[in-house]
Structures are given as C-alpha cells and as structure tokens.
Amino acid sequence: MSPEQDQGSRLLVPGWRRYVLALSLGILSALALPPLYAVPLLWPGLAGLALLNFTARDMRIAAFEGWLFGLGWFGVGLYWIGYAFLVDAEQFAALMPVAVIGISVGMALYMAMASAAVNTLMRRGAGGPMVLVPVFAGCWTLSEWLRGILLTGFPWNPLATVWGLSPEMMQPAAYVGALGVSFLTACVFAAPAVLFVRQSSTLGHMSARQKMMAMAMSLLLPLMWGIGAYRLSAAGLLTRDDVVLRLVQPAIDQKLKWRPDLRQQHVLRQMAMSKRTAGPAVTPTDVIWAETNVPFLIEPGSEVPASLAAAVPKDGHLFFGAPRRDAAGRYFNSMFVIDDDGDVVASFDKFHLVPFGEYVPLRDWLPVEKLVAGRGDFTPGPGPQTIKVEGLPAFSPVICYEIIFSGNVVDSDNRPEWILNITNDAWFGPSSGPYQHLVQAQFRAIEEGLPVVRAANTGISAVIDPFGRVRNQLALEKQGVVDAPLPEAIAQTLSSKLAHLGGFLLAVFAVLSSYTKRINARIHKRD
C-alpha cells in the first residue's frame, strides 16, 4: 500500500475489498430513504464513502468507488421503476432489468463525479484537514444539483428526503431549500470520517483537537431539529372556509385503465364517488381527479368534458387529467377544469415529460416505444403557470413528477396561493416510489410556503399544508375520497426569495473553502 493512499485510514484496505465496501455502503445508505427511514445507517454509509474519497490513491479510483456507491444507492432507491415495465409485461417485461440497471448506472455517474472532485481537492491539500467534511458535503450537494438539470433532469431522492418522517427536520428547507437540507445532512453523517483520518502527505496532520472540532458538525443535527421545532411551534393551521376539496382516489389498476371495454366504467365509478354524500358538516365545493383518469382523448369539439358535468358540485369545478390532441395533431398530457355546465374554464399541459414514458429521446435512432398508451410522443407545455378560476384562489398546476423539480413548480412572477399536483402512481404498484413522491411534494410545500393538494389514482392522495405537514390523506392502493378544506398560504419563504439557490450557494462556499489555505499563503507571501 502506497504511503499516499494508506496513511489516511486505520480501517480501509486496498484493492477489490474497497470496491465491495463502496457498493455495500451505497446499498446500506439507501435504506434511509422513504419509506424505510433507517436514517442511522447513514453514519457508516456516508462516513465510509467520505473516508474512501479521502484515501483513494488517485482521482480515477475515487471516481470508480463513488460510482459503485451510487450504483448501490440508486439501485435500491429506484428499484420501483421496474414495476412500470410489468403493466404491459408481454411487450416490456424483458426491458425491466435493463431499465433499472441502466438508470442506476447512469445516475451513479453523478456520485462518481462528486467523489473524484473530493479526492482531487483533498489531494491538493489546499484547505487542510479541517475542511474535509464540508468539501465532501459540498460535492455531494452539487452532484444533486447537476442531476436536477442535466439531460432534462431527474432530481429524485435527494438526500434531504430521508427526513420525510420528521416535519421538524424538513423545516430548514424554508430557508435553504431541499438542496440545503441535503448539504446539512451530508455534513452530519460524514463527520465521523475524521475520527479515522491519520497523518498523510495529502491530508496533512489532524490533531485530536482538530478532529473534535470537525466532529462538532454533528451538532447540526439537533440544530436542524431545533429550528424546525421552533418554526412549527409558531405555525397555525389556517384554512379557507369557502373551499372544501374532494380528492377522488379510484384505485384503477394500470393494466385495466385503458381497456376499451372498461374505460366508461372507470369514469362512471369516479363520477359516483364525486357525488357521494359527505359528512353532515362537509360539503365539497370542488372535485379533483388524478392524472389521465379520464381515459379518453380530448380533441377540439370533444363532448367528453360536457359529459362529466354531473360530477361537478353546484357552482364548483371538476379538475381532471386526460390526454389532449390539438388542431395541429400534437398530443399533450393535460389537466382540465370544467364548471357545473361542463364548460372548460382552464387547462394546463404538462411541460416536464418523462423520457421513455411520454416521449422517446433520439427516437430516430432508438428502436423502442414509450410506455404510455398510444403511439407518438407527447409535446411539452410552456411551463409553470398560475391559473385563476372563479370562486377559487389562484393555483399552480403540476402533473406527476413535475413536483420533484425544486424552483420549477410555480410562476415566480405571479405567485399562486396553492399548488395542485395530479399524478398516476399506479404505474409503480405497492412499491416505495409513491412514498418517495409524496415526500418530495412535502418539500415543495415548505420551500414555497404554499399548500400542496395531491390527487393520485392509487395513492397517496393528500392535502399538505405550507409547512409540509400531511393533514389529510388516503393510503396507497385504497379506494375512497378525501374531503378537506384548503389550507391558506403563508408569506413567501427565504428559499423562494433566493430563487431556491440557498443550498447551491452553501455547497459552492464549502467547496471553495478548500482553497482558503492556498489563498492565505499567497496573502502572507505578498506581505
């Protein structure tokens, strides 16, 4: 073992054992994600990855070990994608392992880049041993940021989502966004790595006192909880007395949804659920159906919206999802709002489409078809919008996984009063996917200071207040309705005012801290 490599660790061994360890740590860490929430496993998981990053012989080895960690992390965290390939098993089942492994391999490249960056910065010894943990956390967070924007973006399961079990731990997102919560979380769980760092030519000498000071970053854990508890202690629950929403969750099996002989039956079931008598103190003013839960194509002059008028409360509205084709022959995944006369008063087209689900990238070269029923690709809509219909506060519609894109769910120039997310998680069965989806909707509520109303075909349908707390919900794969008043919005959050760049800036400053020693040396040299 070279002196450059080992002197950094009492625990790690060279060669293939490091590679097995890296993969195992990724698998272990992923168990902290929803819905298992085995959060303590992040201590060996992230501290172990940090130690691998610090002690790798060179950048290439660090990148490979980071990639192996990412393979375990994403393989466990995204296994649920495979369920979508079983809906039409005859056509797509053979692609299931290819898809799950393929996306894990690709997403792991972001972990590889982060690990290579950590190793490069530390081997230069630019900032000294005291910045080991913030540099690791900063590189992790920047990799999450890149994952959300490159190649259309897929920011699923940021590290912050491990706190979905604790409203208090989620609250710092109001100030630094979910990305900032990821940074703070990485600092906390990577901190123990410094206890195993020994003197080396790359990391420098780290005294016991310095190690204790670095370990003090673990105190961010009670600090985050304290901030959250204080914020929630002052949080009331104000609701609008004039708006009671009914969320309809029909639990339609995705395999049956588009069958020609059953489509009308699916719609009639939802209409009956929409008109079901509520409790004596509850009268729904508006009804919300899930994404594409009207399995008929809406075209110019279509009579489908008018046929649904019976499901609309008097003087209220029905929100529903359906595919749309315009006069030019383009297809859209859309949301419609109709009044009690059956007239369409508003519509919205999904703008962040799912690759291979709603369109095929590089269609001319790839001999595959999209998973969603119907031939041809969907066309993306124009982007976030604020829609106002009579009798309701202005809202921002988002369809399906558009809710996972922090900073891209509302029109920042025309702030709405609530966010409406319709989705169809029936594609993913009783897996962890719907639970992870819900947690990310909770983070959008906290970041924006806006309630999120979520209607899902098979669940989890929920009403989330602007503090990210789930106030009403229907469990996964349960058929039923939720009647709930609409929570009121709160003042615009700091995260929103900063255009959701708080976490990004924290990460950048942390990475730049690795250069403080070099900068100070140059200043002293000039003096």
Task: Give the catalytic positions in this structure.
Answer: 291, 350, 400
Q: Tokens 């897929």 belong to which residue?
A: 154
d(CA 327, CA 255): 30
Q: Is the Cβ–Cβ distance between 248 and 455 less than 8 Å?
A: yes
Q: Is the Cβ–Cβ distance between 400 and 372 less than 8 Å?
A: no
d(CA 493, CA 448): 6
SS3 content of the chain, % helix, strand, coil (to 5): 50, 15, 35
d(CA 380, CA 369): 18
Q: Which helix (H) or strand (E) holds 247?
A: strand 239-249
User: How many CB atoms lie under 10 A from the CB of residue 356?
Assistant: 18
Q: Is the Cβ–Cβ distance between 236 and 385 less than 8 Å?
A: no
- At residue 333, what is the residue type? N
Task: Kindly report the backbone phi and psi dihedral angles of residue 115, in degrees, each rounded to the nearest multiple of 5, phi listed first.
Answer: -65, -40
d(CA 141, CA 435): 22
Q: Are strands 395-399 and 344-349 parallel, antiparallel or unpaired?
A: unpaired
Task: Kindly report the backbone phi and psi dihedral angles of residue 303, in degrees, each rounded to the nearest multiple of 5, phi listed first.
Answer: -95, 0
Terminal Cα-to-Cα distance of the chain (whole angstroms)? 41
Q: Is the Cβ–Cβ distance between 87 and 140 less than 8 Å?
A: no
Q: Which two tokens stand for residue 325?
A: 């084709």
